[in-house]
Structure 1
């Protein structure tokens, strides 16, 4: 059987890396894409020791048009069938709407633009190869405004990913490509390092948001990764165009 490839954009840390761990344990060949070479190297070394699969890496900064174009060219030239794509790259820094500057907005817009065209390139590979599964990491903030974390530009960008998920599901179903999304609430992940000291992220989030979730705790990357892995798998073969709340019950109601 020809080797297939699972691509995780934003795979060096957080939910992307946790998803990679599950795929490597299944024996998959995983390509991690991230902008920090050192983090990619660490993730590759660690993951290769955890399972029978293989891990490859590529450095790319999705906020840099030239870097994004180079990534797209590399993916377009990939001869192996790509069967999985996880769009896990993200950035998050709460800021008042009245204080937003064009650069703040542009950072989110650039990431969405890159995600759009990277996904298009991978979907072309999948269409040629017989199909695949794509999962977007969206956000609860795309559905609900949270006063403690004003995030208008971020939420607008994530809502775009939710909409893209549904449109691609419709357009690509005929090519045997399923497209779904997860919509997490507060998860302990390095993304909060933009405004919380890395060593304080876990304590800050658990102290401030455990009680916010009906289940009684913030999420862990493994919680979301397990659901992503399900959506990538044949077990979710009749699921496409769905945006699944993986959020400790927040969208059902908040404490």
Structure 2
């Protein structure tokens, strides 16, 4: 029987790592991709304590087109079944529209280019092995704007992932490949460390608790639970869905 493997792009921290915990605990060989070698090794050591699954690492800078191409070439030679893919990498920094530079724009939209072509390589493998499940991490910010956190390019990037999700769900359904997204609201996660010191993230975000009808900030585990469900056979008849894992924000907020 062909070995089944999961790939998590952005799997060394935050929601990606929390998802990896669940997959490793189930015994799945899980490849975590990130750009920081130290972070990858630390995450690998931590994940390997969680269960029988094997952990592999891929050091790739998603902004380096040659590194992305080299990784795609590796994926195209992969004989194992890449059954699960999670596009979890993210970068968030509030910047007003009038202050956005080309660099700020590229920091968001170039990430989608890497996701697009890595996903394409994985889908070729999934098609060859007759199925698979993909989950993209989108965002509440793709649904609506938040004046306190201006993020036009980030919102474009996440809205693009939502749209890609729906397009791929329609195109790939005949190959038994499901494609879904989760859309988190405010989650205590390293994604904010671009502008907040990591040990102060929770304190800095505390003012957003009341934004959520459930009255608290999200945790990476909350999002990983949604991802785990969408990847699994329990969601076998779900594709093209954007699952709001947001403490109720999209229902309404103060």
The TM-score range, normalised by the shorter chain, is: over 0.9
Unmatched 5+ stretches in structure 2: none
| Secondary structure, counterpart of 1:89 in structure 2 | coil
Match of 2:180 in 1: 180
Deviation at 1:2, TM superposition (A): 2.5
- Equivalent residue of 2:169, what SS? helix
Cα distance in 2 between the residues matched to 1:196 and 1:208:
14
Aligned position for 1:245: 244
3-state secondary structure, aligned to 1:183: strand
How far did 1:107 drift? 1.4
Q: How many angstroms apart in 1 are the aligned matches of 2:236 and 2:59?
A: 31
Give the superposition deviation at 1:26.
Answer: 0.6
Name the counterpart of 1:211. Answer: 210
Q: 1:92 & 1:187 partners in 2: Cα distance?
A: 12
- Aligned mates of 2:21, 2:93 — CA distance in 1: 27
Question: 2:243, 2:181 → 1: CA distance?
Answer: 6
Q: CA separation in 2, counterparts of 1:191 and 1:67? A: 22
Alignment partner, residue 114 of structure 1: 114
* Alpha-carbon distance in structure 2 between the residues aligned to 1:241 and 1:171: 10
Instruction: Provide Cα deviations, 1:184-233, integer angstroms capped at 9, x if missing partner.
Output: 0000100100000111001111x211111000001000000011000000
Q: Residue in 2 aligned with 1:125?
A: 125
Task: Report how far residue 49 of structure 1 moved.
Answer: 0.8
- Aligned partners of 2:50 and 2:25: how far apart in 1? 7
Task: Report the equivalent of 2:100.
Answer: 100
Q: Which runs of 5+ in 1 are unaligned?
A: none
Please list, as runs of the form range in 1=range in 2, the aligned pairs for 1:155-194 lying within 5 A after superposition.
155-194=155-194
Residue number in structure 2 paired with 1:82: 82
- Aligned position for 1:52: 52
Secondary structure at the aligned position of 2:12 is classed as coil
Alpha-carbon deviation of 1:77?
A: 1.1
- The CA RMSD over aligned residues, in Å, is 0.6
Q: Which residue number in structure 2 is paired with residue 202 of structure 1?
A: 202
Count of residues paired in the alignment: 254
What is the CA–CA distance in structure 2 between the aligned matches of 1:69 and 1:113, rounded to whole Å? Answer: 11
Q: CA separation in 2, counterparts of 1:227 and 1:156?
A: 23
Q: Aligned with 1:148: secondary structure?
A: coil
Q: How many angstroms apart in 2 are the aligned matches of 1:225 and 1:244? A: 12
The DSSP-based 3-state class of the residue aligned with 2:172 is helix
Equivalences for 1:13-92 in 2 at 5 Å? Answer: 13-92=13-92
TM-score (norm 1): 0.98
TM-score by length of 2: 0.99
Q: Distance in 2 between matches of 1:132 and 1:2?
A: 13
Structure 1 stretches (4+) deviating beyond 3 angstroms? none
Aligned mates of 1:74, 1:9 — CA distance in 2: 15
